[in-house]
Structure 1
């Protein structure tokens, strides 16, 4: 039976019923719906809105339903309109009229809002822990490869020498911000809308502070219209997830490049690669490619939520039923990607010799050559021009700055002597960049250890 059936004389058309139903996706919030109802019943009894013995009876019935649901002995009826209808119907079937008192001083509008907040708070904690797990893997890998030289790129052109550890720590910083964003999003999500009812609160003498406390919220929402219609927390979480997925996508793009024979900086473990149906030599980075593709899916979910909200007047509108599928899909997409991506990074084989060979080409020590002259008193722009001329000559003669004879250096400036070769060695170039945030191995080690220490004890905050 529909909770709103009293006003109507005809049954809802079966096709409309299917269109209107949300049980297929909001059943995911069954535990949260029961938790919210248990707290609501307790508060009603404490405030004398319903008799204390009836409140205890309702709480007992709900606790039994929750236990049965968790154990798998209770299945959700797919014909129910939504999870709230199913729970109330099951409670009434078990308790009789006492079960019908549960919905006093409550609407499905504030009920679904609290269910969603409770559910997403839990999901945020899980996603943050997954991100922390990936960050730990990156820090571990960075410590192992803090001194392995590779070319750094701008415009996908070899630019300056860095280390593989330094490159990995750039992504560690990104994912650290992602985890921080999730934590901040929960702060604004952490308010209880129960008691807002349909839109205008209630005349019953309820205690909203008590309900919020029982459910572990920081406090109640402060406006009943906003309490039932606010989905900022979904928009914010979808945005956080989209940013994290963009970071995963950027990293995936580099993994795909690094795996190619043109780079061959890494090799993925067989457990995280696939082959071709007709080309036996292929080893495809499908996990990275799928993650890269799924980033668009998360961005699409975010766009769905923003488009859904942009024209809604206050307060509740049925459009808001569309929030759950989009935000659940965004959560599930990031969760699934992190589940596959983290062990892929953990098990990948790094090929430092190939990175070092690539770094030896492309004149990525040219800036250091110019800095060598600056250190001897030459203005940077003059040093820049001379170094550019040296690079052009090397290209013409098939040489590198390391193999260019000293007499050719001296033709451009008498400031050059044999010490230039030490100044432009790739290891010297990297080790000399000790500025905070630079690629010097000691910096990489400090950065990785700092983040690992930062992560200690953060899983449950």
Structure 2
């Protein structure tokens, strides 16, 4: 998916093969030629372009524009061109504007006039939209595969450390005791949403634009429904003008990539904080850290910081593609050539981030003692309020009473558990000697047994849901 194949082969020879030009008296300005050249980006679509061309040759044959022998020759020649790409034997010519020009030039070099007939009724407008959708199908599949690996790694750590307690944080302030596994799985469930989002995009974008021509459609009897089935699409686009100018699927993919990268950034930020000496909750493996050129003692979480930085890059690509499309009138415009730069970079950088995140999570060391040592009695305040609720006190009153207990404890420089029972009863008569039982962090965690809670039973159910997702993704891959 990430390779940019090119090389020094011999197909096509030195020529000035163009897909247009009859009405022009000269060649484009050199600066325009350089700007117009999209090969540095769209060369990676070579296989998708060849696949679509093979199917289109067969569709032309079904429509009576080629005979079987001609179709066979074109298909075999397209496979020879694929071989040259794979072996990096393709030589680009100055007149090659894009991957479509390269493939057609090479095809004509192999088949002569027959190769020029392949483009019958087809425009680069519907051709590139089709190529991008074929590429997108693979990109989504591979991204889901990487997400699956990361979710597996998180779930494995959660299973290993089930029962380990830690402070839960809101506003980066200690809030309530939770299980370390629960915190880990919060990130897995964010990634689960990403998987569902990508799956929805995969299904919604699986609509074939080929056969739309430049904008008006195809008048030559091409069976678009057959083409869709041949190329693995669920349906065909319903309006040819919309089809050639539509890049919603590109925007949607970059949006999905942005959401994944945002979730990775939040995971990275947590891990960076938890790996500091101030927290010391986890240790990162040396393989995913680096040192300082000046300070010998430093062990810097560069891998996580790069993941965090990439999030901004991918999100800027989302803004870029949206602003590009915003300024275009309907149907195809050359501005859309830049969709590939935004899309491919987002995919590549996300793939790097996911691969690194998998390694970080798989190899991190969890400091269970440090996690549990960070628990403090003030984090039991919410559970004390629930204690009063169970005694029949309305929650708002219970919240107020416990707030007074916290203020009293802070004034005296003691924990809330050290405030004498008599003084607690002066604040609220519902306090009894059994308030001492609320001081057990482990027991308090287990009371959160609702779906999605931090009790062991709830976490086991969360793990089951993730294993179910893993099975579904494995079946789809």
Q: In which range does the TM-score fall when normalised by the shorter chain?
A: over 0.9
SS in 2 for 1:150: strand
CA–CA separation in structure 2 for the residues paired with 1:426 and 1:149 = 8
What's the secondary structure of 2:379's corresponding residue?
coil
Alignment correspondent of 1:216: 232
SS in 2 for 1:359: coil
Cα 1:49/1:197, change in 2 over 3 Å: same
- Please, what TM-score do these two structures have when normalized by structure 2? 0.93
TM-superposed CA distance for 1:282, in Å, is 1.1
TM superposition shift of 1:458 = 1.7
2:318 corresponds in structure 1 to 302
Q: 2:358 aligns with which of 337, 342, 348?
A: 342
Aligned ranges for residues 171-320 of structure 1 at < 5 Å?
Answer: 171-320=187-336
Equivalent pair of 2:45/2:99 in contact (CA under 8 Å): yes
Check conservation: 2:144, 2:473, Cα contact below 8 A. Answer: no
Deviates more, 1:203-212 or 1:338-347: 203-212
Show the counterpart of 1:360. 376
Q: Which residue of 1 aligns with 2:471?
A: 456
**C-alpha displacement at 1:402, in angstroms?**
3.4
Q: For each residue in 1:43-102, what CA deviation from the matched residue of structure 2 results, as whole angstroms up to 9, or x when unmatched?
A: 1112211222111111110012113322x1522516321100000000111111111111
- For residue 413 of structure 1, report the CA deviation from its aligned partner: 4.2
> 1:66–1:460: structure 2 CA closer, same or farther, 3 Å change rule?
farther
Report the counterpart of residue 169 of structure 1 in structure 2.
185
Q: 1:418 Cα shift?
A: 3.5
C-alpha contact 2:314 2:349 (8 A) present in aligned 1: yes
Q: Is the 8 A contact 1:40 1:211 kept in 2?
A: yes
The answer to whether the aligner puts 1:2 opposite 2:18 as a matched pair is yes
For 1:369, the equivalent position in structure 2 comes to 384
Return the match for 1:34 from 50, 53, 61: 50
Cα distance in 2 for partners of 1:19, 1:413 equals 76
* Conserved 8 A contact 1:274-1:285: yes
**In the alignment, what sits opposite 2:161?**
145
Measured after TM superposition, the shift of residue 124 of structure 1 is 0.5
Please give the alpha-carbon distance, in whole angstroms, between the structure 1 residues aligned to 2:56 and 2:277: 62
Cα 1:446–1:202 shift into 2, 3 Å:
closer
Does structure 1 residue 117 correspond to structure 2 residue 133?
Answer: yes
SS in 1 for 2:175: strand
Partners of 1:187 and 1:90 in 2: how far apart? 34
Structure 2 residue aligned with 1:440, among 443, 455, 459?
A: 455
Deviation at 1:408, TM superposition (A): 4.2
Deviation at 1:109, TM superposition (A): 0.8
SS of residue paired to 2:176 = strand
Aligned partner (choices 394, 402, 407) of residue 417 of structure 2: 402
After superposition, the CA RMSD in angstroms is 1.6
In the alignment, is the contact (CA less than 8 A) between 1:23 and 1:83 conserved in 2?
Answer: yes
SS class of match (1:203): coil
Corresponding residue for residue 119 of structure 2: 103
Q: Unaligned 5+ residue runs, structure 2?
A: 1-16
Aligned length, in residue pairs: 459
Specify which of 89, 94, 104 is matched with residue 74 of structure 1: 89
Greater shift, 412-421 or 243-252, is seen at: 412-421
Q: What is the CA–CA distance in structure 2 between the aligned matches of 1:232 and 1:35, rounded to whole Å?
A: 23
411-420 or 249-258: bigger deviation: 411-420
Q: Deviations over 1:110-141 (max 9, x none)?
A: 11110111001100110011111111111111
Quote the Cα distance in structure 1 between the aligned partners of 2:328 and 2:393. 65
Separation of aligned partners in 1, 2:290 and 2:279: 19
Separation in structure 2 between the aligned mates of residue 95 and residue 244 of structure 1, nearest angstrom: 46
The answer to whether residue 108 in structure 2 is matched with residue 92 in structure 1 is yes
| Equivalent residue number for residue 151 of structure 2 | 135
**8 A contact 2:60–2:222 mirrored in 1:** yes
2 CA distance for matches of 1:407 and 1:431? Answer: 29
> In the alignment, is the contact (CA less than 8 A) between 1:402 and 1:425 conserved in 2?
no
Structure 1 counterpart of 2:27: 11
Q: Which of 321, 339, 345 is matched with 1:323 structurally?
A: 339
The TM-score, its normalising length taken from structure 1, stands at 0.96
Identify the match of residue 80 of structure 2 among 43, 46, 64.
64
Q: Distance in 1 between matches of 2:357 and 2:458?
A: 26
Residues 460 and 88 of structure 1: is their aligned pair in 2 closer, same or farther, counting only changes over 3 Å?
farther
Deviation string 1:403-461 (CA, Å, 9 cap, x unpaired) is 44444434544543432122232111101111111101121122112211232142352
Q: Look up the match of 1:429.
A: 444
Shift of 1:344: 0.3
Distance 1:346 1:95 in 2: 53
- Structure 2 SS opposite 1:313: coil
